[in-house]
Amino acid sequence: MTRPATPAGPDGAAGALRALPVGLAAVVVYLGLEWLGFLHEVKGLPATPWNPGLGVVFALIVLDGPPAAAVLFAGIVLAEVLVVDTALSWPLVVAVAAIETACYAAAGTVALRLFRLDVGLARLRDVLLLLGAGLAGAALVALLLTLLLIGFGELGVQDVLATTVPLLVGDVLGIAVITPLTLRLVAARRKGGLAFGAGVVAEAAAGALVIAACLWLVAASGRPDGFKYFHLLALPVVAAAVRHGLDGACLALAGVQLGLVALLHLHGHDVRAFTEYQALMGVLTATGLVAGVVVGERRTAETLARAAEARAKAKEAEAARAARFSLVSSMASALAHEINQPMTAARALARAAQHIVQTPGGDLARAEANLANAVAQIDQAGTVIRRMRDFLRRGAPVREPIAVAALLDDVLAIAGADARAHAVEVALDLSADLSADAIADLPAIAGDRVQLQQVLLNLVRNAVEAIAAAPRPPGDRKRPGGLVRIAVAARSDPPRVEIAVTDNGPGVPPHLAAHLFEPLTTSKDDGLGLGLAICASIVEAHGGHIWLQSSAPGATEFRVALPTVATTPSG
């Protein structure tokens, strides 16, 4: 059923013509389902505890609005004649059809427009709203039809419960079982159709066998105590809901309902027994639908969470890369000087060698030595450029074993130029227990070399900036011990390696010490407060930890602990 266009004009007429075949097909489906579902007739009313045709039409109403209720009106009138073979007069038949059509059209419209029902039933709220609308419409229909028939003398007061209860149960079950299934099938069609793999078909077949076995225990055995086995039907329904969400629950409930109707009809159960079973079916339906939609909501939430996490990681990677460029940008002048120095020296040495070669009887050994020194100077400049290029490279993180000594050597090479430009000495701490050999023998750590370089460079750069910005007494640079210093040290602390960056600068203010690794926390006038936060996220992603060991002036120390290769989790 499609939403008809406005009736005015040729477009409205064309829309009506297009909707007519769909409406006629819906009426045929309604009559077929009424014929399959009809079991009992009381005082001319199809008081069946199972009304699947109503479920289909109610789905059309919430999909296309009140115009779709015309299908219900036509279907009820035709069903009273063709299926029920009613003894009611035509005015009463029309009145019955009008009451049911008006009530369900109103219930569907209120749910759709006033309460904003999402026909995709993606949330628990929407499933409960749909069931509530169906229950409200069914209760109103049962009340009004009962009053109508009593008023016309077609129904005695003693027949009210026998007629009203099956009618109410049948309408509610028809909507609860068939309407969600119809809406989900429509949603799947709009998304590109249904796809059934071999595994799904096999699983459906196994579920059908379990449902059949449970139904045999409940109804087909003919035992009067079959009610006590009804709870077994919850097993395949809940299993389908857990496996496939609301779609699985809807299909399982439809299978249970159709099987239950067929078996009860086959064994000749009266309307009272049938209504009792259908009341239990109502409880099972509500349970299955709620379980299915909750599973669906959880999976949707997990999908959204994974997508949000992926976006956050992408943004974090962008921020880290931007921080690398910012770090290098702030050191650009010093790095340019660091590259210019060896290139200038190489040029002078090459010119000197050229002059020697051009001079008759020149000292060729000296020319060769000059050329060797020029090559070494060019190699030094090339090393700086290569390290900087690797540091700025684009790409996904690469986990690999990293030698701690090589990592520190790269960091010191990149940071050294900027430190020297600010008259700060940065070097390895080669005390008695931290010799170069001891650092070389440290176990390898696993991670992305560029990211870990960024962490250590950020710590060294922060120390350089803090020392450069702090006032120093005259002659401070001439004091014993040389320049103000930044010492980088490493030691083994199984199953981790700890790397320390210590400086003898002004220290960290107490009010910042506890929040340094939180975003937007900075002691710089032009700082963004993201550098250390990014460092913390990088270290934690490597399974490590970063902290401020000491904030004291003259002995500020940051430490980074990273797991060794043997203890680093894969992935």
Model pLDDT, residue 14:
45
Instruction: Round to whole Å and give the CA distance between 181 and 71.
Output: 19
Pairing state between β 424-428 and 484-493: parallel
Six token digits for residue 276:
């009792």
- Rounded to whole angstroms, how far apart are CA atoms 348 and 301? 67
Rounded CA gap, 107 and 295, in Å?
27
Q: Which two structure tokens, joined as six digits, stand for 261? A: 């109707």
User: Which DSSP state fits 45?
Assistant: B
**Strand-by-strand arrangement of the 484-493 sheet:** 424-428, 484-493, 496-503, 555-563, 545-552
Q: What is the mean pLDDT of each run of 10 residues along the chain (571 residues)?
A: 43 50 83 70 59 90 89 87 75 90 94 91 93 94 88 75 80 93 89 72 89 80 65 91 92 90 77 80 93 92 87 73 66 63 77 82 79 80 72 65 90 81 83 68 87 86 83 49 74 90 87 72 49 82 90 90 73 43
Q: What is the rounded radius of gyration, in angstroms, for the C-alpha atoms of the chain?
A: 40
| Spatial distance between the Cα atoms of 508 and 549, rounded to a whole number of angstroms | 11
pLDDT of residue 479: 38
Q: How far apart are CA 119 and CA 183, in angstroms?
A: 6
Q: What is the dihedral of CA 394, 400, 405, 406, to 10 degrees?
A: -40
Output the pLDDT for position 382: 78
pLDDT of 8 reads 43
- Are the C-beta atoms of 504 and 533 separated by less than 8 Å? no
Q: Can you tell me which residue has the tokens 């913390």?
A: 536
8 Å CB contact between 554 and 504: yes
| pLDDT value, residue 528 | 42
Instruction: Outline where 38-111 has alpha helix (H).
Output: 52-64, 69-82, 90-109
For 4-31, give the DSSP string: PPPSSHHHHHHHHHHHHHHHHHHHHHHH
Distance between CA atoms of 155 and 163, rounded to whole angstroms? 9
- How many Cβ atoms are within 10 Å of 231's Cβ, its own excluded? 13
Q: Where are the beta strands (DSSP E) in 348-483?
A: 400-402, 424-428, 445-447
Angle of CA points 47, 48, 54, to nearest 5°: 100
Dihedral sign computed on CA atoms, order 284, 288, 291, 297: negative
Residue type, 391: F
In terms of Cα–Cα distance, which of 536, 546, 548 is closest to 503?
Answer: 548
Range 108-136 burial, b when 16+ CB lie within 10 A, else e: bbebbeeeebbbebbebebbebbbebbbb
Interatomic CA distance for residues 165 and 145, integer angstroms? 12
Report d(CA 203, CA 214) in Å as an integer: 17
Contact (Cβ atoms closer than 8 angstroms) between residue 203 and residue 245: no
CA 142 to chain centre: 44
What's residue 529's pLDDT?
Answer: 44
CA distance 289 to 248: 9
The pair of structure tokens assigned to 329 is 């940008």
Helix (H, G, I), strand (E, B) or coil at 281: helix
Answer yes or no: are the C-beta atoms of 111 and 125 closer than 8 Å: no
Confidence (pLDDT) at 468:
81
Q: How far apart (Å, rounded) are the C-alpha atoms in residues 458 and 453? A: 8
ω before 495 within 30° of 0 (cis)? yes
Q: Taking a C-beta distance cutoff of 8 angstroms, is the pair 99, 140 a contact?
A: no
- Which pLDDT score, from 0 to 100, does residue 43 have? 55
